[in-house]
Each structure stands twice: as structure tokens, then as C-alpha cells.
Amino acid sequence: MRKIIEGTGVLVFLVGVSGTIDHLWYQPFLGVVLNSFNRFVVPNVGPLQEHALFANLAVAVLGAALVLAAGALATRRR
């Protein structure tokens, strides 16, 4: 279970960072997958449209928190 949470956290982190890069510049790598939040969610949610950079950074922080939480749970169980 820990590996699934870590993998999800890494993917969410990459989506956030890729969306941030795409918002500031252009992201040519795996754009459909990694920029899904930036291209499909942000334009359709009013408050996120105004703060797209902050929203993408928040997704990256959420992904990092998932990875750190999974690591903390693993060390607590040992």
C-alpha cells in the first residue's frame, strides 16, 4: 500500500510541477498526461483561472506531502 501512495504522490507532484512549467512557458514532455490538471481542471474552475500558478504549485506540494506521509508511515510500522 505504501508503494501505491508513494507512486501516486510522485505522479501528483510531477503533474503540479509540469503544470507550473506549462503555465510559465511550454512543456513538451508528456503534455497530455502531465499537464492534465493545468489544461482540463484550471480552465473550468473559476477561482483557479485567476490563480493558476498557485493552483499548480499547490498540487505539487500535495504530491510531495503524499510521498512524505507514505515514508513516515513506513518508518513508524518498522
Q: Which three cell numbers stand for residue 6?
A: 508513494
Q: Is 3 exposed, middle or buried (0-12, 13-18, 19+ CB in 10 A)?
A: exposed
Integer Cα distance of 61 and 26 in angstroms: 21
Domain count, the chain: 1
**Can you give the residue range of the structural domain that contains 8?**
2-77
- At residue 31, the pLDDT reads 72
Block means of pLDDT (10 residues each) for the chain, length 78 residues?
91 92 79 82 90 94 95 74
